[in-house]
Amino acid sequence: MAPEPTALHRAGGKISLVGIGPGSHAHMTQRARDVIAEADTIIGYVTYIKLVADLIVGKEIIRKSMTEELDRAIHALAFAQQGKKVALISSGDAGVYGMAGPTFEVLFQAGWTPATGVEVEIVPGASALNTCASLVGAPLTHDFCSISLSDLLTPWPVIARRLDAAAAADFVCALYNPKSGRRTQQIIEAQRLFLRHRDPHTPVAIVKSAYRPKQRIEFTTLEKMSDCDIGMLTTVLIGNSNTFVREGRMVTPRGYANKYSMDDHAPHDGEKAGRSLSTGLMGWLAHLHADHQAGVSATSLAERHRLPLDYIQSTLAQALTTTDQQTATEPLLENEA
C-alpha cells in the first residue's frame, strides 16, 4: 500500500521516469543506471522489474501488473512526497507509450508544479522502434511514424483513421501492441487498411523481444504479415513504397537517387548539390502555376499530386512572387545526411 500523500513533501523527494531501453544492460544509458542506483524505491511492471533485478537488490520494490499504470504513478507520487527517491521504470523510452504521460496526468491532478512539487526527471531510453530497426537494417532512414494497435484506451475508429492516413501518406510505420491473447483482429484490420494503399509485396519486419533472450526476427510482406507469429512483445515495421530487403537487411532509401547518379554520384540534369530538388516546394509551385495557366484544372492537379482540392485551390490563389521564383534556385543550407 502506498503511503498517504502529504500536503508538504519532505526535502529530497523525487520521481525519475526511467527508460531502460529494450532490457539488455548493454543498451541501457549510464544515466538510467545511475538513477536506479540512487533510488530508494523502484516501481514498475513485473516484467520490467525482472529485467533490472540485479541492479535493484536491497531496494524497496513495488511490482505492478499491466493496466495498473495510474496506480504506479500514484504510488510514485506518494513515496516521493515522503521524501524518497523513486525510479518509475518503463521499457524502451518512458515518453513513448511509457509512464511519463500517466505520471504527469496524476501530478497535475494533484496540483503539482515544478516550483512547489516533488522533483521530476525523465531519463530517456531507446524505444522499441529504434531497437527493432537496428536489428533489421535501416528501415527508418526516411519519414516514419508509430501507431499503437491497442484499443484499450483509444477508440478503434481513431486508430483506423491514423492507420489509413499513414498508409496513404507512404510513411514507414512501426506498429506497437499489435496483438495479444484477446486482441487478435486488430493486426488483420491494420493489414487491410494498408493494403488499400500499398503494394502487397511491401517489405515487413516482425521483431519479437528485441535484445532479450527470446529475440526473434522474421522478414515477410504486407500481404502475409498477419500469418506471422505476432504478440504483445512484437513490433511490426512496415516499409514504404521504396523500402527493400537485400542480404537480410531492410532499407528505406533517403532519396539520394532522386538527385544524384548512384554510379558517379554526379547530380542529375537540372539538379544541384546543396539545393532543393527541382520538384522541391518552390519548383513545384512554379510548375503548378504554369500547368494551371496552361489550362489544367485545379481538380486535375489535385488528382495528379494526390493532394486535397481545397489545398490546391488556395495555393493557386496565392500569386507566385518573384522572390518565390528566386528562392527556388538559391542554395539551401541543409544537412542531407
Q: What is the rounded average pLDDT for all residues in the chain?
A: 89
Residue with cell 533517403: 254
Q: Check residues 207 and 12 and name the one with the higher pLDDT.
A: 207
Is a pLDDT exceeding 60 seen at residue 333?
no
Q: What is the pLDDT of residues 160-200, one digit of tens each?
A: 999 999 999 999 999 999 998 889 999 999 999 999 999 99
Look up residue 129 and give its three cell numbers: 522502434
CB of 14 closer than 8 Å to CB of 80: yes
pLDDT confidence tier of residue 24, bands split at 50, 70 and 90: confident
Q: Please provide the distance, in angstroms rounded to a whole number, between the alpha carbons at the two ends of the chain.
A: 52
Rg for the chain, CA atoms, rounded: 25
**Is 27 strand, coil or helix?**
helix
> Helix H segments across 54-155?
69-81, 100-109, 128-136
pLDDT at position 331: 44
pLDDT value for 181: 86
Q: Which three cell numbers stand for residue 146?
A: 508509430
Cα distance between residue 23 and residue 55, in whole Å? 12
Output the pLDDT for position 328.
Answer: 45
Give residue 321's pLDDT.
Answer: 65
Grid cell, residue 60, equals: 524497496
SS3 label, residue 317: helix
Which three cell numbers mark 136? 533489421
pLDDT band, residue 277 (cuts 50/70/90): confident
Question: 257 near 266, Cβ under 8 Å?
Answer: no
Q: What per-residue confidence (pLDDT) applies to 238? A: 98
In this predicted structure, the answer to whether residue 239 has a pLDDT above a threshold of 80 is: yes
Tell me the pLDDT tens digit for each residue of 133-160.
Answer: 999 999 999 999 999 999 999 999 999 9
